[in-house]
Chain A
Amino acid sequence: MPVTNLRQAKILATLATLLSLGVSSARADVVEFKFGGQIASDIRYRLGGEEIPPENSSTAPFPSQQRLLKYGFSRNENLIKAQITLTVANHVKAVADVDFIWYGYSDVNDIDAATLHEKVDPYRLEAHAAYIDVYHLIPKVDLRIGRQVVNWGTADKFNPTNNLNTLDLSDPLLFGRALANNMIRADFNPWRDLILTVVWVPIFRPAQLPRTAPLAVTEAQRPPPVQEDDIRAQLGQLALAMPPTQINVFTQQPETSIENSQVGVRFGGRLLGQDLSLSYYHGRFGIPVPAWVEQGPQGIVNVGVMWPKEDIIGFDWAGSLSKLGGIGYWVEGAVTFPQKVTYGIYNDSTSGHDPVTFTYDAAEKTHNLHVGFPLAQLPTVIPSTPFFKLTAGLDYSFNKYLYGNFQYVHGFIDEFGAGKALYARPGAHIGDPARTEARIGEYLVVGADLKLFNDALLFRLFGVFKLPEVGDPEPKFTAVIFPQIAWAVWDATELSVGAFVFLGDRDTKFGDPASGASELFCKAKFTY
């Protein structure tokens, strides 16, 4: 290299170093760092329910000691949460929120596993946030990019318009906490609280299902998941003729294509002191539904599940009624236009892969079954008929000690599709007729908090009661009751005990073993 060029290069390097030092020191002046988190312990004991996985199951995807017994410890977790927030003036904020969780169960299935830390003491990571906020990207516009939760709706926990993030249904105590996902959110705030929010979610993340969920598709005595009564009866008789010896469940995840990304738009503001919004969502329902089944040789049955597409138009409305002591109210509703899901049935028990289809006999008003006739009708799992969900509620603080909350819910968080929900009756065998209810049910959610000793002691009692269907010839009681005592023993330190009690026969919403089982819990947490 010529001397002159070398000198120039040195000068440039020096300038670059000085500039970079100057820039970094100028930025360092305004970076604010916050660190926090939580240390928690969660022990639960199960009371009844079904054993998961069944005792004769040869494989389990989770630590072997984590089998759910009818009566036994169902959770033995310890958690360390770390939250980091970096703020650069009022322009940028970066947030990370990660849980490190030890299951508290060993997974030592052989002597080699007993030598591995990750088998003796299994753990997992959960990232609730990893995003960057850019404020005032252009005037009146904020941008948030990364793993995040976007919560929409004004109702309490039961939000028909809140669909961008799927739910964590693995823990009933979370009441369906949203699962963070990678997304891009832009908020345009042209005037006061008038906000237009646009969200794009590139890749769908399915809901986290409860450990008991596979029962909904792996129990042979359950009715075939089709809406047409006579087809269901015929499929039941086929299953009776060829009883399953093993049911495997496969998933059909959406491809990571642009067509499968999700979008949401919400426009909200305040009118005459009341909060109003309209929203639209295009994406998928987080809980999978059965879409096909293969009847293989030796009674081996393979079931396929998929996550149906949906378009949702919603509204919410909330405010406070000053003439009624400032009582709070909210109304939130949404119409869902679901993808039609049919049930592909294949007979692989002999040599081929024969589709089982049906044709409708208008004269007999029944369906005729065909094998190897692919152009005929497939039975319906989810009809394309739009359906409506609604939550309307009130809350009130009677005094500084007592708070009450009351909600009417049309459509529970896991309910999807018009038509009927199907249950196997207690003691049912393969092929027995199902007990049916409207798929979109009616519920009352009632709760109260009693706070004593400067809010240090909290008595909480919440209940979800399913209302009987009008005209149901055999209405059945089913409910969930959630009593809890929480004691803030000192700053940021809370101990709590309680129960989550499922009530009802197994052919009801909350009595169904796939919904879960009653648990006692004891938790401690310290937040720093």
Chain B
Amino acid sequence: MMKILWVLGLLSGSALAAPTAAEILSNVDRGLNAFKDGTFDSKLLVHDGGSAREYGFTTFQKGSEKRLVRFNSPGDVRGMGVLLENKETMYVFLPGFQRIRRMGMHAKNQNFMGSDFSYDDIAQTAFSPSYTAELAPEEPSSYVLELKVKPKIETDFPRMKMWVDKSNWSPTKMEYYDASGKKVKTQVRDGYHQDGPGHFQPTRVVVTDHRRGDHVSEIVFTGSKIDSGLGDDLFTQRALLR
């Protein structure tokens, strides 16, 4: 059924009547979450002048909310784990202390490992629950959406602009604006390839933080595995301790 919906979605993006902004955003969300579970191997590169600090990590995801991030390198963070059970519940495991700590959600204010990605960037897998969309003038290969935050939703970015690839409903570029309307971050996703039914995975995500003098961080995805049957018990504190 999902496949049929997905094909219909693709058709609606290419051959049928022009979709509305809400439909485009809904298709984006559906594409981002077109799997029951996924395992993603990644490298985070935090650029600093001509050099870059590199972190290797694997993300396990089930549904749109449950995530377990396990760091593989470098040595000082190896074994560290971050478990996001839902938007309100986050745990960190520090292997050096053999301790799991419940983190206040204020931690989302911090950068992910000192990069330009926030924990929100890492966790966000759906935009429709938080934003309403309006169409902006489209480009030859992309729809362009203006997103505005819904009432009662707290975010550092009340406005966004999103470019969506017409061929696969994947976001290729996002601009983030603060409350004063100033562009503060730009995220570019490229190298999309299909790794599962209806799921397109970027090879690279690059974030530029304009508040930090256009400082750049990127995540390079080195592997992905979709719908391998990850169990719920992987997303528990007991599993985080392992």
Flag if B107 contacts A397 (CB, 8 Å): yes
Q: Interface readout for A300-312 with B: 1 if CB under 8 Å, 0 if not?
A: 0000000000000
Q: How far is the CB of A450 from chain B (nearest CB, A)?
A: 12
Query: Closest A-chain residue to B74, C-beta based?
Result: A492
**A93 located at the interface, meaning its Cβ lies under 8 Å from any Cβ of chain B in the complex:** yes
Contacts of B74 in A (CB 8 A): 491-492, 527-528
Bound: A177/B107 CA distance, A: 24
- Contact for A133 among B98, B107, B242, CB less than 8 A: B242
Specify the chain A residue showing the minimal Cβ separation from B104.
Answer: A328
In the complex, A345→B222 CA distance in Å?
A: 71
Evaluate whether A320 and B105 lie within 8 angstroms (CB atoms) in the complex, with A36-B78, A451-B114, A527-B74 already known: yes
- Looking at the assembled complex, report how far the CB atom of B101 sits from the nearest CB atom of chain A, in whole angstroms: 8
A329/B104 contact (C-beta < 8 A), A454-B53, A454-B215 known? yes
- Choice from A38, A325, A488 contacting B75 with Cβ under 8 Å: A38
Say which residue of B46, B99, B108, B238 sits within 8 Å of A454 (CB atoms).
B46
Does B102 belong to the interface (CB within 8 Å)?
yes
Q: Is A102's beta carbon under 8 Å from chain B?
A: no
Q: Does B89 contact A (CB under 8 A)?
A: yes
- Is A148 part of the binding interface, using a Cβ–Cβ cutoff of 8 Å? yes
Query: Which residue of the partner chain, among B99, B106, B113, contacts A320 with CB atoms under 8 Å?
Result: B106
Q: Is the interface of A mostly helix, strand, loop or mixed?
A: strand
**A319-B102 contact given A189-B236, A270-B89, A528-B75, CB 8 Å threshold:** yes
Q: Is the CB of B109 within 8 A of A398?
A: yes
A397 touches B106 (CB 8 A): yes
Check if A2 is an interface residue, CB within 8 A of chain B: no
Residue of B nearest to A189 (CB): B238
C-alpha spacing A38/B236, complex, angstroms: 29
Residue of A nearest to B72 (CB): A34
Interface string of A103-139 (1 = CB under 8 A from B): 0000000000000000000000000000001010000
Query: Of B99, B108, B118, which is within 8 A of A326 by CB?
Result: B108
| A181 → B minimal CB distance (Å) | 12
**Could you tell me if B103 and A492 are in contact, using CB atoms closer than 8 angstroms?**
no
CB neighbours (8 Å) of B54 from chain A are 491
Residues on A with beta carbons closer than 8 Å to the beta carbon of B105: 320, 322, 326, 328
A318 is an interface residue with CB less than 8 A from chain B:
yes
The answer, yes or no, to whether A295 is at the interface (CB within 8 Å) is no
Residues of A within 8 A of B172 (CB): none
Given contacts A133-B242, A189-B236, A454-B115, contact A326 B78 (CB under 8 A): no
- Closest chain-A Cβ to B206's Cβ sits at a distance in Å of 15
**B89 and A273 contacting across the interface, CB-CB below 8 Å:** yes
Residues of A near B103 (CB, < 8 A) are 320, 328
A396 touching B215, Cβ below 8 Å: no
| CA of A319 to CA of B88, assembled, Å | 9
Say yes or no: A326-B107 contact (C-beta < 8 A), given A36-B78, A454-B53, A455-B114: yes
Q: A322–B110 Cα gap in the complex (Å)?
A: 16
Q: Which A residues touch B155, using CB under 8 A?
A: none
Q: Would you give the shortest CB distance from A410 to chain B, in whole angstroms? A: 21
Residues of A within 8 A of B233 (CB): 189
A37 touches B75 (CB 8 A): yes
A320/B104 contact (C-beta < 8 A), A149-B98, A195-B237 known = yes
Query: Cβ of A318: which chain B residues have Cβ within 8 Å of it?
Result: 102
> Contact partner of B238 among A142, A270, A273, A491, CB < 8 A?
A142
Judge whether A321 and B104 touch: CB under 8 Å. yes
Q: Which residues of A contact B232 (CB under 8 A)?
A: 192
Distance, CA A451 to CA B103, complexed state (A): 18
CB of A392, distance to nearest CB on chain B (Å): 14
Q: Which residues of A contact B113 (CB under 8 A)?
A: 455
Residues on B with beta carbons closer than 8 Å to the beta carbon of A34: 78
B174 CB to closest chain A CB, in angstroms? 19
Counting CB contacts under 8 A, is A508 at the interface?
no
Instruction: Answer whether residue A77 sits at the interface, using C-beta atoms and an 8 A cutoff.
Output: no
Given contacts A187-B238, A455-B111, contact A527 B75 (CB under 8 A): yes
Q: Which residues of B contact A193 (CB under 8 A)?
A: 85, 236-238
A505-528 CB mask vs B (1 if < 8 Å, else 0) is 000000000000000000001111
Chain B residues whose CB sits within 8 angstroms of the CB of A488 once the complex forms:
53
- Residues of B within 8 Å of A403, CB to CB, are 110
Q: 1/0 per position for B96-133, CB-CB distance to A under 8 A?
A: 01110111111111110111001000000000000000
Indicate with 1 or 0, residue by residue over A308-344, a CB within 8 angstroms of chain B CB atoms.
0000000000111110011111100000000000000
Q: Is the CB of A275 within 8 A of B215?
A: no
Cα distance A270–B103 in the bound complex, in angstroms: 14
Q: A325-B106, A397-B106 are in contact. Are A195 and B48 (CB under 8 A)?
A: no
Residues of A bordering B, CB below 8 Å: 34, 36-38, 93, 133, 135, 142, 148-151, 154, 156, 177-178, 187, 189, 192-193, 195, 270, 273, 275, 318-322, 325-330, 395-400, 403, 451, 453-456, 488, 490-492, 494, 525-528
26 A-B contact pairs sorted by A residue (CB < 8 Å): A135-B242, A148-B98, A154-B101, A154-B102, A189-B236, A193-B236, A193-B238, A270-B89, A273-B88, A320-B102, A320-B103, A320-B106, A321-B104, A326-B105, A330-B102, A395-B104, A396-B104, A398-B109, A400-B110, A400-B111, A455-B113, A455-B114, A456-B48, A490-B53, A491-B53, A526-B75
Q: Which 7 A-B pairs have the closest CB atoms?
A: A328-B104, A455-B114, A326-B105, A527-B75, A492-B74, A527-B76, A454-B114
**14 extra A-B contacts, CB within 8 A, seeds A177-B97, A326-B104, A492-B75:** A38-B75, A149-B98, A192-B236, A275-B102, A326-B109, A327-B104, A396-B104, A399-B109, A403-B110, A455-B113, A491-B53, A492-B74, A525-B76, A527-B75
